[in-house]
Structure 1
Amino acid sequence: MIKPFNRLLRSRPLLAFHERQKNQERNLNRIFSPLLIVGTILLLTLLLAYQPGAGHIYLRVGEVSPREIRASRSVFYVDTTKTHRLQEAAAEAVHPVFDPDDKANVEAMRTVAQLFERMQTERAALQAHNPIHAVNLHNAVVSSQFTSLLPSDALRRMLTLPEPVFQRLQQVTSRLVSTAMEREIRDQGTDLKDAIVQTSEALDNALPDAQDRVIARMVIAHALRPNLHFNALKTARAREAAMHSVRPYIDRVFMGDRILAPGEIVTQQALDKLTALGLVNPREELATNVAIAILTVLMVLAINYYIAVNLPQVYRNRRRMALLWTIVVLAVFGLKAGAVLFGMTVANGQPGYLSIASVTAMGMLVCALIDMNLAVLLVAVMAALTGILMNHEVRFTVMTLVSGLVGIMGVQVTKRKNRLLMLLLTLAIVNVAMVWLLGMLFDDETADMLRGTLWAVILTAPVATFLYWIGTLALEKPFGLLTPFLLMELSSTDHPLLQKLCALAPGTYAHSMMVGTLAEAAARAIGADALLCRIGGYYHDIGKMDHPEFFVENQRRENVHSRLSPSLSAIIIIAHVRDGVKIAKAARLPQEICDIIEQHHGTTLISYFYHRALMDNGGGDEIPLGFEKRFRYPGPKPQTREAAIVMMADSVEAAARSLENPDPEQLHRLVEEILHHKAEDGQFDECPLTFRDMRLISDAFLRILQAICHRRVPYPDQGNAVVKPDTLATFDANLPIEQEIERKDVSSSLLLEPYVDTEASVLSSIVPEAAEAERETYAHRDLSQLSQESSDTAASTRRSSTPSKRRKESRRSEHSTDK
């Protein structure tokens, strides 16, 4: 029966069918991502560019109002006309900025010194040529280089002045120039003229001779210069800063005030009032729509690139990518709805807070369903969009960002349904605090802050929490997502799968409960997802429900593995992993739980049957190629810390059950050997476990095991009765063969997994589901003989309560014998 089945699996039509399926999957993956991105960009562009006409006005300054417009509510507005006037006045009040010239004083003094030094030289030359003659004096005056500075009469006087008078003139002139240059002399205005006049007045007291004063004034006027130069760039910047420092002129329009009459020309002041009321929308112009489209493309591509680089597992998951962009589109829809309602007629309220609620809910949903870091990125992007859509209101940008981040942190902390109220209260408190902080920052009136408090409490926090709760419940199962709500539902012992496991395989159920407890303690010790580990421990062996009597913890009949070949026994052991994955997917369990079920044995070697097969084939001197692979689980190895923890908890719990009255030292040695064996076998090579994690996991296991496996005091009525150990030896495929042999007399009676009634039950329930490489030999035993022995044993051990049942069993035994 096996060979035809193998031939069918190797047939060309079946192989071609599988190849076509793989090609279709690859082609779908190539097409899906671009289509999703393009569709998202189109939807977001339409949402952001759409401007509803109802209740909104499209007017510009200078146009004629077609109808009467009155204020629908009281609101403060910025009067841009008066603000501009105040800014111009502030700019005009700014004084010009001048840069000091440090060299001006030195150059002025050098000019005076050079003039008198040159004049002194002329005087010396004139005296050497008999200065009595008028001809020589005339020639000296004509040849002097100061003819352009001083008139000829002044030059003659300076050339003929007595030496004491000449020295006195030089000293007075130098002192007055130095004094004048110490004051500010700007290159604009009358500072230079004022300095010359002031020095002239000082000369009246310093020089008695009028001609000497004239000469000194000419020299001083030539030497003085500006020491401050105008800086146009700095002046412009100072005036611009002064304009920006002017606070906008805030005025108020009251509800019912007429803003525009029919046929009235629209002024800037009227447009300011309409803008503050949220009644003015920009015209749908081509340039505006193109800018919105470009902004949308950049935003979507940037987020998609971030996911591809940092979250490749999410990027490759079509369902999660579709879920992500669906949440984003819905959040933008809520954001746009809040922007459209912004400023509408609502008594004592502001429906623009709806935008904050939608973005906060989006952040919490993305955090709970996909990834926390991605949620933070999306909240930041949406906060910027909120400010743009809400008439550039900075307060809404800040409130959206803070509310979204607090919601994300609340989701990380809140893992239970009954703590949703705490999340709601946290959001309400934070939003109220932001209303008052921003209100004080922008000098809002107390009445406005009270209205903002009301809307933050009755709209933002409740709506965001409700959207998060209903969105999680609505999306978790259709998209196969792992959420705190779903984990809490799966952890309930009333879950149908756990109820079925308890009814069909009570021993497996008890084992799973203990594995969940051990895994949860270990996960808490290393900071892994403790709730996921506990649920993974509960469901890791649900594959045993299909044939519960085949497994030792549920078995009440004699062991048939002693009459099975090692290869068939290995196939039976491995089958429960595939059955568990199949049951989990049929029940639509999250992918993370399915992964734990599939990986909780990794590629562990079923060492007992492997060594038994080696002995049956001559002691294992020459091991055939691929022989060991038949006795290993197909894997994969644990890919996450949670899957590795469940693997270790499964092995440790099974091994601990075999110890009789263990002490802490035995438990410690047992846990260390099992964890060391798993690590040496390479089972943790593909998950991010560290040596520190292994130590903490070992300590957590020991704490739980010591509490469970402690010694008990015998009851008085037991007396000296000796409790005989179970005559049915147990076998754990997770343990090394050496440790397994030490546990009990395994060779005497090997009670492992299934009880086989007939050959047909083996072939129909186990073998067809095994891997092709494991479907070869039932060596060393004829299957028909095995079926015959199994049927005879079953008939002899059954106890029927009525003669009719005995007759049925007798006929069944005879039928098996004939077969």
Structure 2
Amino acid sequence: MKKKNQRIKKEAPSFWTKEKADYAVNLFLVILLALGITVLLNLHMDSLPQNLQVGSIAPKDIKADQNYEIIDEQSTQKLREQAEASILPVFDFDPTIEIDLVSRIKESFTKGRQIIYDGTTIKAKAAEKEQFKSKLKSEFLTAFGFNLDDESYALFRKYSFHPSMERTLTYLLHRASQFPIIHAVDELNPYADRGIILRRLSFDETIEEEVIKDVSLVLDVNTAKKKIEEISLSSISGFLNLELLDSSVFDVTKNVAQALVKVSMNYNGLETDMRKQRARANVKNTIIKVKRGESIIRSGDRLEPWHLTVIEGIRKELLKTNHIYRFIGLFLFVSLVLFIVFFYAQRYIRRFKPNRKDLVFLGLTLMISLLILRMGVFISTAVRDALPFTIGTNTLYYIIPVASGAMLVRFILNSEAAFIFSVVISLFSGVYLGNSLEMMVYYLIGSVYAAHVVARVDRRSALFRGGLMAGVVNAIILSSLSLISSAAVLSRVEISLLATNMIFGICAGLITPMLVLILSPIAESLFNYTTDIKLLELANLSHPLLKEMLISAPGTYHHSQMVGVLAESGAQAIEANPLVARVGSYYHDIGKMKKAQYFIENQRGENPHDKLAPSMSALIIEAHVKDGLEMAKLHKLPGKIMDMIPEHQGTKLIGYFYNKAKKMEDPALSGRVAEADYRYIGPKPQTKEAGIVMLADAVEAAVRTLQEKSPAKIRTTVEKLVNQHFVDEQLDECDLTLRDIHQIADAFVKILIGMYHQRVEYPEGALISGVPHALGARIHVIQDKVNTNENRSHEQPSQAANISPLFRKKD
């Protein structure tokens, strides 16, 4: 029972599955998008006049729509600058520097006298005396803490570090260090008129401040040394016992004291800046109070600085206090639309299966479309105000190319995504433009049709042709809406306005493809999408890869072209993307160029596989997939096309060499041949187009090798090969239905019968295409080794034929 419970517990599904994680991430992205759209739609566009300058004339009356307390920033800024300028610079004076110097002098001289006293009883050898002298000098200089020249030390040593010398040195140093000493007096010149704040520091961290008006009282290092130099021997004779000491002691002591002078005062920039910031912060804003209905300026009056201050202040207040309720309402509306439309479409619209990358692309495109709308509204308002005549507000809005977003989505993704995008963008646009139903309908129909006209783009000019058609539809929409809303016969003014609206609608259609051409390369680059324009560039037969294939592997080149024709017809039959199928066919076998001679379509004589073991041949054949991927990466082919290189082979069996190996196997010597060693590594086709290319590749190769190419034989071969791929489960991952497979096979048969229809046999000496037999004899294509190529040997083992066929024989 315990084991059973453990097994049940082990098999219990986890609460947090990958599906739930994906759902949570998608939910987060939708919420983030809703927030971004709400912010974009809620940004306030005020009606106050723009580009006003001092001295210009007011274009209209301006009154306060409510009570305002406007900050006069210029006056406030001046007061703050004045407060900041009133702060004196702060300098720190550290008297502890002198105390530390005196302490070191006392300690070193005391230690010197003590060592001499301890050594007076030493009557040792010369070596020991030298050691004693060395110790004395070392310990004295260590305690002294400063470099001392040999002459000064010798003099101090001569008089056994006499206390009078210590007192003299201390006195001289104090006479200089009792004042603040700065590095250079030039540092104080900028403050000579105002003075400075001097902070006296201490060991107990107490600070005393004083304002020094006369900065000349502050000494620099050179001045302090001069003060020591000016001190005479007579003024300090009371400190020296001249009867015991040599008079040269005074000069040496002065030199040492001068050397000990140090900077004791430094500028404290951090403290100064902090005081300036506090001074600025203590200045209160200067407020201008404006009452509701108060006239700020009348039309025609000249603008003064005060007027501009008030107008700009009102504009800032409007931006700052723009209705929180509107924001909440917009957010709820946007979120509801996105949630309902997205999750409904994902659940019930079969082809709407966006991945994470597609969701990000759709969100960014939606934001960009709304930004285009906002910019269009802003420009339209400015143009309307600048025009010398009156024009309807909505008239200028008709030229805004909102439909460019839907056209771009259809150009890159699919019709389902474009339709959903059109619904969402039209709803948001209508709400932004004052809940306008007219604009909502106009943008919805225009966006849907703009997406429709780019369903299949075979050249760049098709975009502009589609844009023109979309513009005409815009004009028809506007005329129909105008007729619906008119209660009587249109007046001349109304007809003129309608004509203007229709012209603007056509212009919007022409601008739309321009934006798509600008944005589509950016989308391709950012999201690694492949558009029809990019595919058309790759379909150009002058592409370097195709030109190289034509030269190095002409048989493979011809085969790829034929596969492209078949794949395109198959894709058209099931409404897949024929351009993707055709371009994928052109590049699916580019890897064969590296070892073209090993593939039957490129051989003109001896087959190199005859000299190789089946396993080695299989490795060479299989390697063309890897080589193809490397070449595709080198030439930066799009992901859609690169994926078809391995997917067109799937996990198929390299049948010819597998069967050959089975015939040659000897279990006693080398073991059994493993089927897995003779299969491609995959993956299987993941898209309908890749599945079509797989079938077209196999069918073209097999039919070309048929000796009898009658319609019945072609149909039988096609159905047999398609059935083998179906039984081998190669098409299980590409969403091809049974109906699709039948339609693809029928399309293949029609094309192949057209390729290989029988021709009239001309007599021996007849002309061939107008060329005499002697100059251009009939060409006979002889296929003598049909089953030696991997791609021409995709048939499964014979037991596959015994399975119920996918196709029924037709009467």
Report if TM-score (shorter chain) is over 0.5. yes
Partner of 1:671: 718
- Selected match of 2:675 from 628, 638, 646: 628
Name the amino acid aligned to 1:446. I
Q: Any stretches of 5+ residues in structure 2 without a counterpart?
A: 1-17, 51-57, 64-292, 299-316, 766-772, 799-811
- Selected match of 1:417 from 431, 436, 460: 460
* Cα displacement string for residues 527-570 of structure 1 (whole angstroms, at most 9, x for unaligned residues): 32222221121111112223333322223563332232222222
The answer on whether the counterparts of 1:507 and 1:554 sit within 8 Å (CA) in structure 2 is yes
1:286 matched to 2:335? The reply is no
Shift of 1:463: 1.7
Shift of 1:515: 0.6
TM-score of the superposed pair, with normalisation by structure 2 = 0.55
Name the amino acid aligned to 1:372. S
Partner of 1:493: 541
Shift of 1:579: 2.5
Paired residue secondary structure (2:606): coil
Shift of 1:400: 0.8
For residues 10-49 of structure 1, what are the structure 2 equivalents within 5 Å? 37=30, 40-49=33-42
Partner of 1:593: 641
The answer on whether the counterparts of 2:649 and 2:684 sit within 8 Å (CA) in structure 1 is yes
1:606 matched to 2:654? The reply is yes
- Alpha-carbon distance in structure 1 between the residues aligned to 2:350 and 2:747: 32
Name the amino acid aligned to 2:44. Q
* Cα displacement string for residues 437-470 of structure 1 (whole angstroms, at most 9, x for unaligned residues): 2222333722322221232223x11221211232
Paired residue secondary structure (2:751): helix
Name the amino acid aligned to 1:567. S
Shift of 1:281: 8.8
* Cα displacement string for residues 783-813 of structure 1 (whole angstroms, at most 9, x for unaligned residues): xxxxxxxxxxxxxxxxxxxxxxxxxxxxxxx
Change (3 A) 1:449 1:700: same
Shift of 1:484: 2.1
Q: Any stretches of 5+ residues in structure 1 without a counterpart?
A: 1-24, 58-64, 71-259, 266-279, 742-819
Partner of 2:558: 510
For residues 193-342 of structure 1, what are the structure 2 equivalents within 5 Å? 262=295, 284-302=322-340, 305=343, 309=347, 317-341=355-379
- Alpha-carbon distance in structure 1 between the residues aligned to 2:424 and 2:616: 59
The answer on whether the counterparts of 1:664 and 1:706 sit within 8 Å (CA) in structure 2 is yes
- Alpha-carbon distance in structure 2 between the residues aligned to 1:281 and 1:349: 27
Partner of 2:530: 482
Shift of 1:599: 1.3
The answer on whether the counterparts of 1:655 and 1:732 sit within 8 Å (CA) in structure 2 is no
The answer on whether the counterparts of 1:504 and 1:548 sit within 8 Å (CA) in structure 2 is yes
- Alpha-carbon distance in structure 2 between the residues aligned to 1:737 and 1:484: 31
- Alpha-carbon distance in structure 2 between the residues aligned to 1:69 and 1:648: 75
Shift of 1:319: 3.6
1:574 matched to 2:622? The reply is yes
- Alpha-carbon distance in structure 1 between the residues aligned to 2:375 and 2:33: 18
For residues 769-808 of structure 1, what are the structure 2 equivalents within 5 Å? none
Partner of 1:768: none
Change (3 A) 1:393 1:679: closer
Change (3 A) 1:619 1:669: farther
Partner of 2:496: 447
The answer on whether the counterparts of 2:597 and 2:608 sit within 8 Å (CA) in structure 1 is no
Paired residue secondary structure (2:453): helix
Partner of 1:754: none
The answer on whether the counterparts of 1:68 and 1:261 sit within 8 Å (CA) in structure 2 is no
1:375 matched to 2:418? The reply is yes
TM-score of the superposed pair, with normalisation by structure 1 = 0.55
- Alpha-carbon distance in structure 1 between the residues aligned to 2:294 and 2:723: 87
Name the amino acid aligned to 2:706. L
- Selected match of 2:405 from 350, 358, 362: 362
The answer on whether the counterparts of 1:339 and 1:389 sit within 8 Å (CA) in structure 2 is no
- Selected match of 2:788 from 731, 737, 746: 731
Name the amino acid aligned to 1:438. L
Paired residue secondary structure (1:452): helix
**RMSD of aligned residue pairs (Cα, Å):** 4.1
Name the amino acid aligned to 1:431. N
- Alpha-carbon distance in structure 1 between the residues aligned to 2:354 and 2:779: 61
- Selected match of 2:741 from 687, 694, 700: 694
Partner of 2:472: 429
Partner of 1:401: 444
- Alpha-carbon distance in structure 1 between the residues aligned to 2:720 and 2:668: 25
The percentage of counterpart residues that share the same residue type is: 30
Partner of 2:45: 52
The answer on whether the counterparts of 1:512 and 1:537 sit within 8 Å (CA) in structure 2 is yes
The answer on whether the counterparts of 2:419 and 2:448 sit within 8 Å (CA) in structure 1 is yes
Shift of 1:634: 1.6
Partner of 2:513: 465
Name the amino acid aligned to 1:605. L
Change (3 A) 1:306 1:567: farther
Shift of 1:516: 0.4
Shift of 1:396: 1.0
* Cα displacement string for residues 563-617 of structure 1 (whole angstroms, at most 9, x for unaligned residues): 3222222222112123223333443333322232221112211122212222222
The answer on whether the counterparts of 1:678 and 1:684 sit within 8 Å (CA) in structure 2 is yes
Partner of 2:704: 657
Shift of 1:517: 0.7
1:536 matched to 2:581? The reply is no
* Cα displacement string for residues 215-257 of structure 1 (whole angstroms, at most 9, x for unaligned residues): xxxxxxxxxxxxxxxxxxxxxxxxxxxxxxxxxxxxxxxxxxx
For residues 10-159 of structure 1, what are the structure 2 equivalents within 5 Å? 37=30, 40-53=33-46, 55=48, 68=61
- Selected match of 2:594 from 521, 535, 546: 546
Paired residue secondary structure (1:493): coil
Name the amino acid aligned to 1:536. G
- Alpha-carbon distance in structure 1 between the residues aligned to 2:505 and 2:778: 73
The answer on whether the counterparts of 2:457 and 2:533 sit within 8 Å (CA) in structure 1 is no
- Alpha-carbon distance in structure 2 between the residues aligned to 1:66 and 1:367: 45
Paired residue secondary structure (1:438): helix
- Alpha-carbon distance in structure 2 between the residues aligned to 1:328 and 1:321: 10
- Alpha-carbon distance in structure 2 between the residues aligned to 1:724 and 1:289: 76
Shift of 1:365: 0.9
- Alpha-carbon distance in structure 1 between the residues aligned to 2:40 and 2:722: 56
Name the amino acid aligned to 1:526. I
Paired residue secondary structure (1:359): coil
The more displaced of 670-679 and 296-305 is: 296-305
Name the amino acid aligned to 2:407. M
- Selected match of 1:519 from 563, 567, 578: 567
Paired residue secondary structure (1:612): helix
The more displaced of 512-521 and 615-624 is: 615-624
For residues 710-721 of structure 1, what are the structure 2 equivalents within 5 Å? 710-712=757-759, 713=761, 716-717=764-765
- Selected match of 1:345 from 374, 385, 399: 385
The answer on whether the counterparts of 2:653 and 2:796 sit within 8 Å (CA) in structure 1 is no
- Alpha-carbon distance in structure 1 between the residues aligned to 2:475 and 2:482: 10
- Alpha-carbon distance in structure 1 between the residues aligned to 2:568 and 2:653: 26
